[in-house]
Structure 1
Amino acid sequence: MTQLPTRRGLLFGTAAVSAGALLAGCTSNEPKEKEQAADPQPAADDKPGKPVTIGFAGPQADHGWLAAINSNAKSRAERYEEVTLEITEGSNDTATQIGQIETLINKKVDVLVILPADGKALTQVGLKAMRAGIPVVNLDRIFNTPQAYRCWIGGDNYGMGLNAGHYIGERLKDKQNARVIELAGLDNLELTKQRTQGFDDALKNYPNIRKVARQAAEFTVESGQAKMAQLLQAQSNFDALWNHDDDQGVGALRAIEQAGRDDFLMVGGAGALSAFQAIKQDDGVLKATVLYPPTMAASAIDLARALGQGKGVGGLAEFEIPASLTLYSAVVDKANVDQYMSTGFE
């Protein structure tokens, strides 16, 4: 029998890989039947192992996606009788979040899962945990150096834009002089720039399509409605809209309805339940949304549990978990929406 790596070996012995799907788990054991309805993703190895205390620190849940991150982490941890989850009260204040993480370090938790309010600002506390022998699973917003985490798991912002662009492109490829517009998120965020770049790169494959307008919103319902109203007033004729975020998309759809417009198709982003329901109903402009799955928090708990118990990931030959996992931004439309409905966040 091969000897499992030591805890320090798990911290610093990395095997880099990028995964195009959600982490399925650490072994192939079946999930508990009574819990399957509450969590659509398969659980990691349900056979109880070594007790593990996982500290979880994230930003304030002031957005539907962030609230879903918290709920996914909690529900996943509840699957495992040997897992204790120490969860902090989320904060967007970096000093407060650093203090919360330092408290978890002082409690000597076995593993930390951190979704930083600001990856750059929290890099030092990630380093502090790693140097204290506590492996860190860095969730989504990345620290400045890989030395501050054992594993990173997150979404693909560039891939969101790329897949949205290809979806729109395929539907407009036979239309001459097609025109598209973009309702982006906060322009001061790198993720917004990545989503726009992916979208623009996809459209380069369709010479008949031209992006004629772009407006930045703020990932809120109110900003989505206001900025969409401005776009509709400025652009009397276009064929498709790419909206970066389903929360701000609620406001955008209000503005579209108020303007009485139904002459274009809309693609959203993230995977809100309201978007899935509208896509399934299929009586409006919203035809698809591109995922940025909050189920990544459940996968982060699986990774943390595996680290705490010295396990690898089922389906891979290595003894260690990967150094990074990039989740795929699947396109959800009427053809597959039922498959994803249970993962939608409110």
Structure 2
Amino acid sequence: MKLDTHAKDLMLSFASKIKTRLTLISSFLLVCLMALGFTSFSATASNPAKLQSIGISVADLGNPYFVQLIESATSRAESLVGQPVKMLIRSDAYDLKRQITQLNYFIEQDVDLILLTAADEEGIAPTIAKAQRAGIKVIAVDVKARGADATITTDNIQAGVIACEYLAKRMNYQGNMVIINGVAVSSVVERVAGCKSAIHAYPKIVLLNDQLNGTGSIDGGMKAMTYLMEAYPKIDSVFSINDPTALGAVRAAKQAGRDDFILASVDGAPFAVKLIQSGNSNWAATAMQKPSLMAKKAVEIGYQLLQGKKVEPNYILIPAELAAQEIENSSDDW
């Protein structure tokens, strides 16, 4: 069927009007969508940030403190997104090269978030920067790490202070003290500094030795305490940088039949609090950390950063609390 010129003009005019109306409708819908917070299906800036996988590198998976930190990070991540989150867990054993390898693996796996206890505060910085260039947020927990997007640690100076103030009081502010030190990461350095600042006020307390590295482990604590007991016949108190080291020291004292000194530490693990409050060992006190709170805050801050939100402050200190033989205290955080 052939159309005359007038009919063709009418059809073209009608088609033009329909096209104009469709354009107006499309524009109106787009404005409505934008008002509701949408841009386009290809845009990602305004969509919720994904949190599908987290890489965690900690110092020692044999330490209950780090086990609790990992468990709490996992549960908080899954509660935030409402579904399982893939967790890549590694232990660096305070070895920088090993931790660099672990972080590079996390980058290759395209994780969304990294939590780490730095084996070396400065040495890990270039790898942190590499992860950030890949779009990964990096949160330092327990130990400072230069360049991290945020840092959450115990107030380690305060922890050292309250532990050694307790020892000083039990010593009647006089006598001989030794410190079983550890790997020179910020948490350990600050605990020892806090202890020293506490006893500095008491000139009759003599610090015999603070140089032995107990490696933060039970075995290291046993070896260090065995040496100290042989080197110094009279010891009145011992400060240990964490609970596993303290447990090793307590075992060494028991084997040597030495019950003439008391010991304090930092961590507050349930096994430590139970042994302390039983009164059946040299172990008299521990400054309790809050690993669950630390992990939850780390995941929450990381998730906020992934959403493009600004987080302030990005350096958080969590105070420690003392548990001792005569001070009943237990933390719900473990």
Structure 1 residue 213 corresponds to structure 2 residue 209: yes
Which AA in structure 1 matches 2:322?
A: V
Structure 1 residue 270 corresponds to structure 2 residue 267: yes
Q: Is the 8 A contact 2:163 2:287 kept in 1?
A: yes
Which AA in structure 1 matches 2:69?
A: I
**Which residue of the partner structure matches residue 123 of structure 1?**
125
Tell me how far 1:334 sits from its aligned partner: 3.9
Tell me how far 1:195 sits from its aligned partner: 2.6
Matches within 5 A, 1:104-115: 104=109, 106=110, 109=112, 111-115=113-117
Q: Which moved more, 1:219-228 or 1:319-328?
A: 319-328
**Which residue of the partner structure matches residue 306 of structure 1?**
304
Q: For residues 160-192 of structure 1, what are the alpha-carbon distances to aligned partners after superposition, in whole Å with 9 as ceiling and x for unaligned?
A: 32222222223334x5x4222222223x54543
Is there any run of 5+ residues in structure 1 with no aligned partner, and where? 1-48, 312-318
**Which residue of the partner structure matches residue 319 of structure 2?**
328
Aligned equivalents of 1:180 and 1:292: distance in 2?
Answer: 23
Structure 1 residue 140 corresponds to structure 2 residue 110: no
**Which residue of the partner structure matches residue 223 of structure 1?**
220
Change (3 A) 1:114 1:183: closer
Aligned equivalents of 1:215 and 1:122: distance in 2?
Answer: 25
Which AA in structure 1 matches 2:210?
A: R
Structure 1 residue 162 corresponds to structure 2 residue 168: no
TM-score, with structure 1 as normaliser: 0.70
Is there any run of 5+ residues in structure 2 with no aligned partner, and where? 1-47, 93-97
Tell me how far 1:281 sits from its aligned partner: 1.0
Change (3 A) 1:155 1:124: same
Which AA in structure 1 matches 2:107?
A: E
Aligned equivalents of 2:327 and 2:308: distance in 1?
Answer: 37
Match of 2:256 among 259, 281, 295: 259
Aligned equivalents of 1:91 and 1:211: distance in 2?
Answer: 33
Bigger radius of gyration = 2
TM-score, with structure 2 as normaliser: 0.72
Aligned-residue identity in percent: 23
Change (3 A) 1:99 1:320: closer
Structure with the largest fraction of helix: 2
**Which residue of the partner structure matches residue 103 of structure 2?**
98
Structure 1 residue 56 corresponds to structure 2 residue 55: yes
Q: Which moved more, 1:66-75 or 1:189-198?
A: 189-198
Helix, strand or coil: the match of 1:206? coil
Helix, strand or coil: the match of 1:71? helix
Aligned equivalents of 1:286 and 1:140: distance in 2?
Answer: 24
Using CA pairs below 8 Å that are at least 6 residues apart, which structure has the higher relative contact order?
1
Which AA in structure 2 matches 1:339?
A: S
